[in-house]
């Protein structure tokens, strides 16, 4: 270990920024803490407006050559990045588990393989990206996707590398250069990604990583006139600040924000399946934006559903996320734990009843919680908690279920449990959500559009939608028989 590196479970991680193909240290640092036990992992370079400007300048300088690089060569390099990720799945998994507390077995088996898949998918999609030419009064219309320019990508702490590469991969495939700003609570795998990308042959300046607090470097990135795209995943208040910052330059935004998604359980549903779906909402200690945190259960089966849910939830093991048998790990930070508990205590004071949980287990872990006797207009029903806290309400008619499901300011996702195909079609057509799952949860395909409605976001990414965002679309209209002969 040197002054600018640290060792995490035997893996060496550079703590400096990655700017213009080289490591850059800041004068000051911030402390990275493991949520597993509250121990200090190390000191990380704390970016300022100076490093932010340098990263954008590096991205701008690298853009012309990368934008002119052939699709085939860009795709080849992205596949090489995926190869590098796959070679280091174990390293990436243990570092990210230490840094953000998510389950090690999930990182090994699902999350890190998905990181590699992000690069492969968008590399392959790039090679088949096209729009069929069409005619207008004998003229030929040809649609093309032109690289837009330097892109600032601001990513969250709950699935750091997977969500970062969900943005990085299509931005690079599109021919853009990137400044990645990872969350300060989980910065380490972004640093490893910089190493992997460099080893894969990604040219200097095409990917830059700047660490630090959003309050200190965010505006310098999002208000910069040379930035042509901004993609952000996080909270609604931060999104508002980013939008205000970007407005001066009319910089296009993609915003994936919070959720307060419903799980609708009808009396005809397979209750065992419905309960399995419900308990799954505790995944990642409830730190999932798509989580169906509001159970809406038909009155006639509510008691039985609750009984089975309590029995199933009791089988979950909460503890050290590095252990193979653990189902629920810690929450990311003591500050987040305090926020979660404050939500729950206010709800209990207002008359809610904790069927299970309702309290901290210690300074790092919050007990899986289910609250009933909650009013539709209450804070606990309307606001995103982002922890292992669920609510249960009942309904008597399909119309009431839809009304309750749509009655928040969010619209990210919804989950529906029913055995009636016609009902599923009717209800899903009325739900305000970017993604609806019927008798399943968290089935994601990168070619599908992803994003939220209302306060859950702006825009859609995935498949061609990602290229639509990260590119400037151009339509070229060609007149018939207008060519000069060179014979």
Q: Are residues 36 and 171 in the same domain?
A: yes
At residue 229, the 3 state secondary structure works out as strand
CA angle 433, 437, 439 (to 5 degrees): 145
| Integer angstrom CA distances of residue 370 from 207, 296, 393 | 43, 13, 11
Q: Are residues 241 and 282 in the same domain?
A: no
Q: Is 289 considered catalytic here?
A: yes
For residue 363, tell me if it sits in a domain: yes
Q: Are residues 243 and 371 in the same domain?
A: no
Q: Are residues 252 and 333 in the same domain?
A: no
For residue 96, tell me if it sits in a domain: yes
Q: Is it the case that residue 482 has pLDDT exceeding 80?
A: no
> Residue 263: in which H helix or E strand, if any?
strand 262-265
Q: Are residues 81 and 204 in the same domain?
A: yes
Q: Are residues 374 and 281 in the same domain?
A: yes
Q: Are residues 210 and 72 in the same domain?
A: yes
Q: Which pLDDT does position 251 carry in this prediction?
A: 98
Owning domain of residue 423: 262-438
For residue 486, tell me if it sits in a domain: no
At residue 471, the 3 state secondary structure works out as strand
- pTM of the entire predicted model: 0.95
Cα distance between residue 283 and residue 277, in whole Å: 11
Cα distance between residue 405 and residue 73, in whole Å: 46
Total number of domains constituting the chain: 2
Q: Which pLDDT does position 199 carry in this prediction?
A: 98
* Beta partners for residue 12, in sequence order: 7
CATH number at residue 469: 3.40.605.10
What's the burial of 155, exposed, middle or buried (CB within 10 Å: 0-12/13-18/19+)? Answer: buried
For residue 98, tell me if it sits in a domain: yes
Q: Which pLDDT does position 438 carry in this prediction?
A: 98
Rg (CA), the chain: 24
Q: Active-site residue among 51, 96, 256, 461?
A: 256
Q: Are residues 144 and 289 in the same domain?
A: no
Q: Which pLDDT does position 484 carry in this prediction?
A: 78
Q: Which pLDDT does position 483 carry in this prediction?
A: 77
Look-up: residue for tokens 């990085």? 168
Q: Are residues 74 and 192 in the same domain?
A: yes
CATH number at residue 356: 3.40.309.10
Q: Which pLDDT does position 487 carry in this prediction?
A: 58
Dihedral sign computed on CA atoms, order 110, 115, 120, 122:
positive
For residue 297, tell me if it sits in a domain: yes
Q: What are the residue ranges of helices labelled H in 88-159?
A: 89-100, 104-106, 112-128
Q: Which pLDDT does position 1 carry in this prediction?
A: 55
pLDDT in tens, 391-422: 999 999 999 999 999 999 999 999 999 999 99
Q: Is 43 considered catalytic here?
A: no
Q: Active-site residue among 289, 298, 384, 461?
A: 289
Q: Is it the case that residue 290 has pLDDT exceeding 80?
A: yes
Q: Are residues 332 and 458 in the same domain?
A: no
For residue 379, tell me if it sits in a domain: yes
For residue 443, tell me if it sits in a domain: no
The whole-chain average pLDDT of the chain stands at: 96
Would you place residue 230 in the very low, low, confident or very high pLDDT band (cuts 50, 70, 90)?
A: very high
Q: Are residues 463 and 421 in the same domain?
A: no
For residue 382, tell me if it sits in a domain: yes
Q: Which pLDDT does position 362 carry in this prediction?
A: 84
Q: Is it the case that residue 338 has pLDDT exceeding 90?
A: yes
- Number of residues written out for the chain: 487
Q: Are residues 314 and 460 in the same domain?
A: no
Would you place residue 68 in the very low, low, confident or very high pLDDT band (cuts 50, 70, 90)?
A: very high
Q: Is it the case that residue 3 has pLDDT exceeding 90?
A: no
- Mean pLDDT calculated for residue range 154-166: 96
């Amino acid at each position: 270990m040197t002054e600018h590196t640290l060792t995490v479970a035997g893996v060496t991680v550079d703590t400096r920024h990655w700017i213009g193909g080289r490591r850059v240290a800041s004068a000051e640092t911030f402390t990275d803490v493991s949520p597993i036990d509250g121990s200090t992992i190390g000191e990380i370079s704390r970016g300022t407006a100076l490093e932010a400007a340098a990263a954008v300048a590096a991205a701008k300088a690298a853009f012309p050559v990368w934008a002119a690089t052939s699709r085939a060569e860009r795709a080849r390099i992205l596949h090489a990045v995926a190869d590098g990720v796959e070679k280091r799945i174990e390293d990436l998994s243990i570092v990210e588990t230490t840094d953000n507390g998510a389950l090690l077995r999930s990182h090994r088996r699902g999350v890190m393989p998905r990181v590699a898949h992000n690069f492969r998918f968008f590399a392959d999609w790039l090679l088949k990206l096209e729009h069929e030419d069409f005619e207008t009064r004998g003229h030929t219309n040809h649609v093309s996707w032109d690289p837009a320019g330097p892109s600032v990508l601001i990513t969250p702490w709950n699935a750091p590398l997977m969500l970062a590469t969900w943005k990085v991969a299509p931005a690079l495939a599109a021919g853009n250069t990137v400044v990645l700003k990872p969350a300060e609570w989980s910065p380490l795998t972004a640093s490893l990604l910089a190493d992997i990308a460099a080893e894969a042959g990604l040219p200097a300046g095409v990917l830059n990583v700047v660490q630090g607090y959003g309050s200190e470097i965010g505006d310098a990135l999002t208000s910069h006139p040379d930035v042509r795209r901004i993609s952000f995943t996080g909270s609604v208040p931060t999104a508002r600040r980013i939008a205000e910052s970007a407005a001066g330059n009319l910089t296009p935004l993609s915003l994936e924000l919070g959720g307060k998604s419903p799980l609708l359980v009808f009396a005809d549903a397979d209750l065992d399946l419905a309960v399995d779906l419900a308990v799954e909402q505790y995944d990642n200690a409830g730190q999932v934006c798509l989580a169906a945190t509001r159970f809406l259960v038909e009155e006639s089966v509510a008691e039985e559903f609750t009984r089975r849910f309590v029995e199933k939830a009791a089988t979950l093991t909460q503890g050290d996320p590095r252990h193979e048998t653990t189902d629920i790990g810690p929450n990311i930070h003591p500050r987040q734990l305090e926020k979660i508990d404050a939500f729950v205590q206010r709800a209990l004071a207002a008359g809610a009843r904790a069927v299970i949980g309702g309290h901290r287990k210690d300074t790092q872990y919050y007990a899986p919680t289910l609250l009933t006797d909650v009013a539709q207009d209450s804070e606990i029903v309307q606001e995103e908690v982002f922890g292992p806290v669920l609510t249960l309400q009942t309904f008597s008619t399909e119309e009431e279920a839809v009304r309750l499901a749509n009655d928040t300011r969010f619209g990210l996702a919804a989950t529906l449990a029913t055995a009636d195909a016609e009902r599923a079609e009717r209800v899903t057509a009325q739900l305000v959500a970017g993604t609806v799952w019927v008798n399943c949860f968290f089935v994601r395909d990168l070619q599908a559009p992803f994003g939220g409605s209302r306060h859950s976001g702006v825009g859609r990414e995935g498949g061609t939608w990602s290229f639509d965002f990260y590119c400037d679309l151009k339509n070229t209209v060609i007149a018939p028989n207008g060519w000069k002969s060179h014979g």
